Amino acid sequence: MEGLPVSVRLNPFKGPDGPEGKSIPWSPWGRLLESRPSFTMDPLLHAGCYYVQDSSAMFVGHVFRRELRRLGSPAGIKVLDLCAAPGGKTTDLAASLREALGSAFSLMANEPVKARAAALAQNVALWGDPAVTVVSADPAVIGRALPGYFDIIVADVPCSGEGMFRKDPRAQEEWSPGLVDLCAARQKRILSDAWQALKEGGVLVYSTCTYEDAENDDNLRWAAETLGGVLLEPEKGFGDYGVRLTDCGNLLVAGEVPGEGQWAGALVKTAPAGGRCDPAPLKPLWAGPPASEHKGKDLIPHPDQALSILFDKNDYPCAELDLPTALHFLHRDSIVLPDAPLGYNVVTYRGHPLGFVKNLGRRCNNLHPLARRILKDV
């Protein structure tokens, strides 16, 4: 909405390119912008160089990094983002883990709602970290299939959404005391269902975008007392920036901080993982860039390969595009590259890969995925 703050988080593994803005205290890659640009018309967004995310939502990433350090950032750490769509927190976790551990981690991003899981997979593909796996399963399925598996679970659970009132008038229209009760009960079920998947000594990072104690402090306290855990102290270092302390966590209130509403807290699991393993198929929607596909005499590269942070541009000829041509590529138009060699080329904008074309000479076959094409006129 017009006049509301807007922020982005840069992808540190795709270089420093992205919108310029004021640093966000709790995110090393967060930038608060002076105004909202046309993100759709910026090829750097489509290259995965940054993610548009509310600055308050980035506070969950700060709590995660704090707990990652407290655990000693162990190599091979396993992390679950339980309710991950559309991918803001997932990509933040991925950057934090890779900065601390290189490739020695695994991150499962789960979204139970199938339609939202597809958007999650697209955003993870753009971000380009091959250590992330995207699945769509009920938390209970994950709990039964992977008992005691994860070192950290991040649960940004569905809530009554009071923190979004300024941004989303519909959230205000739909709010009621009954909705708060319904959400609080559903959150308890989600935590109970996923609890078995957290190892003893593992950490739960719990967050919402509401101000209701019933959904925030009360629920995290309930998890500690009922499921078996010890509450961790809230963060005390950001009071000067408008971040409040609550009994069990931190509250960011729209108007007091640059972003919208957010609450976050954490606890350590003390109960044994226990439970019987009930294997269930967790077929991933995305598990790193797919391999190239043989078709006749051609070996066709998959578009996600170019977006991977591990992609080697020496594997293909590179064709650097100016802004109008890059937008036409992203619009999925046929473009002409008279100076590029025939065959498969990776096209770049400001040095960042956008995808592939097959240069036929007079025109190029555009391999940009139909689902990701810019719909606006370019």
CA dihedral 160, 118, 137, 55 (to 10 degrees): -40
Calpha distance 301→291 (Å, rounded):
7
Calpha distance 281→75 (Å, rounded):
26
Q: Residue 166 in 3-state DSSP?
A: coil
Q: Which amino acid is at 99?
A: E
- Examine the residue annotation and report whether 209 is marked as an active-site residue of this protein: yes
Closest by CA position to 30, among listed 40, 18, 44, 42:
18
Calpha distance 355→346 (Å, rounded):
6
- Give the burial string for 243-268 (b: 16+ CB within 10 Å, else e): bbebebbbbbbbeebbbbbbbbbbbb
Q: What is the DSSP string of 45-107?
A: HHTTSEEE--TTTHHHHHHHHHHHHHTT--TTEEEEESS-TTSHHHHHHHHHHHHHHTT-EEE
Calpha distance 93→75 (Å, rounded):
15
Q: Are 190 and 157 in contact (CB under 8 A)?
A: yes
Partners of 229 in the β-ladder? 269
C-alpha separations of 274 from 79, 80, 193, 229 in Å: 19, 18, 13, 14
Which of 49, 83, 159, 209 is the catalytic position?
209
Catalytic residues, by residue number, are 209
